[in-house]
Structure 1
Amino acid sequence: MIRPALVFLCVLTLTPALAAEPLGPPGAPAADFPKPDRPVAEIVAPLWASEKQRDAVDEVGQVARLMGIAPGESVADIGAGSGYYAMRLAERVGPQGRVYAQDVTPRYLADLEARIAKAGVTNITVVRGEPHDPRLAPGSLDAAVLVHMYHEIAQPFGLLHNLAAAMRPGGRVGIVDADDIPARHGTPPALLTCELTAAGYRQTGFTTLTGRVGYLATFEAPAAEARPDPRAIRPCRDETTRGSNGRR
């Protein structure tokens, strides 16, 4: 039998997660898009390495400089997890800028909201998205980062299509990942490029980051008229992922 006090505690624990809401209207539904022709890794943690280790190699600084993220811009951290990028990008874009920390895991969203409140940061908005749709307002972003989570997106074509709708003209998307198969929580660069291209994105750069962080692949999001019809998208096949089970 569950005591009333424990029920009350559970309600209090869950309440913060309910505060994060979608910011934009629903995009194209998941059923419109093909599933990726590769394994999808499960979401196992809100961060992939300690913040101290990542700061030691200036991970966020490397990515922000290569992407040209500047004061006053609006940036989305897709799959924000613990908020490592969101907190540092908020400082970079400054009080006139805005960071949208988006995730699909309620527990991560609750912890992130608590972290932001404790730090007193006022230019981060926490957003609850869906696996196929970040649920961000149309035309609201200058840039977006997807860090060590692309291989965990259950519906990458849907997410990319709906993310493009949230980008302003010339919007930049940066994907940080390991050059490995999804079973080891990475994405082969050729496969990544194929999937982004299938969704209408144009690759603008590729850099191996220092400090064993992985790579940064940058893309320009397609304008509305350049986004392919969801049902016309054909998934990319990569033989290096055959037989993977999507786990570490």
Structure 2
Amino acid sequence: LVGSEGVVFGQDIMPEYLALLQRRVVRDGLSNVRVVLGEAHDPRLPAGSVDVALMIHMYHEISQPFALLWNLASSMKPGGRLVILDLDRPTYGHGTPPSLLDCELSRVGYRRLSRRETGPEEYVAIYAAPTPAQRPAPAAISASLRRTPCRAP
């Protein structure tokens, strides 16, 4: 899908998952896939390298969403999009309520472009990533959260 010049970053914070992916990359001869070990607060992707970031049924697993989203924005190209597929359930039920998702992403400067249901309790939401000038400073994010925390309904 990314063409002969495109690159796919397979990123996770779990080395064992990345080892499985790396074996598949080698087995299938996927020369355009780069396996990247990130951290809970930073995907560790190259700056300005990502057109589209996909988070599929995993947003609710993120332990440091504001730091991760802030650092992910650095990896996005101008006009980059973040696509999140998740379940409309409480986070303890392996989902993310859409209102919580919107709150967290907007605090870091992401702008929701669309959201639609894709199945029972499932949705896909697409956000425009903030440019460096649009992205608030970490201290401003913290102050905003102290005034009005993001909470699940």
Scaled by the length of structure 1, what TM-score is found? 0.58
Match of 2:117 among 208, 213, 219: 208
1:213 & 1:94 partners in 2: Cα distance? 33
For residues 1-248 of structure 1, the aligned pairs below 5 Å read 92-210=1-119, 212=120, 214-233=122-141, 234=145, 235-238=149-152, 240=153
Give percent identity, aligned residues only: 50
Quote the offset at 1:160 in angstroms: 0.4
Quote the offset at 1:119 in angstroms: 1.1
> Secondary structure in 2 aligned to 1:193?
helix
Bigger relative contact order, structure 1 or 2, given CA contacts below 8 A and separation 6+? 1
Quick check: which one's strand share is greater? Answer: 2
CA contact (8 A) 2:114 2:127 kept: yes
> Secondary structure in 1 aligned to 2:150?
coil
Aligned letter for 1:174?
V
Structure 2 unaligned blocks of 5 or more:
none
1:237 & 1:213 partners in 2: Cα distance? 19
Deviations 1:49-102 (A, max 9, x none): xxxxxxxxxxxxxxxxxxxxxxxxxxxxxxxxxxxxxxxxxxx11222110000
Quote the offset at 1:202 in angstroms: 0.5
* Larger-Rg structure: 1
Quick check: which one's helix share is greater? Answer: 1
Structure 1 unaligned blocks of 5 or more:
1-91, 241-248
Aligned letter for 1:131?
A
Quote the offset at 1:231 in angstroms: 1.8
1:119 & 1:137 partners in 2: Cα distance? 24
Quote the offset at 1:142 in angstroms: 0.8
> Secondary structure in 2 aligned to 1:236?
coil
Aligned pairs, number: 147
What RMSD, in angstroms, separates the aligned Cα atoms of the two structures? 1.2
Deviation >6 Å, runs of 4+: none
> Secondary structure in 2 aligned to 1:97?
coil
Aligned letter for 1:132?
H
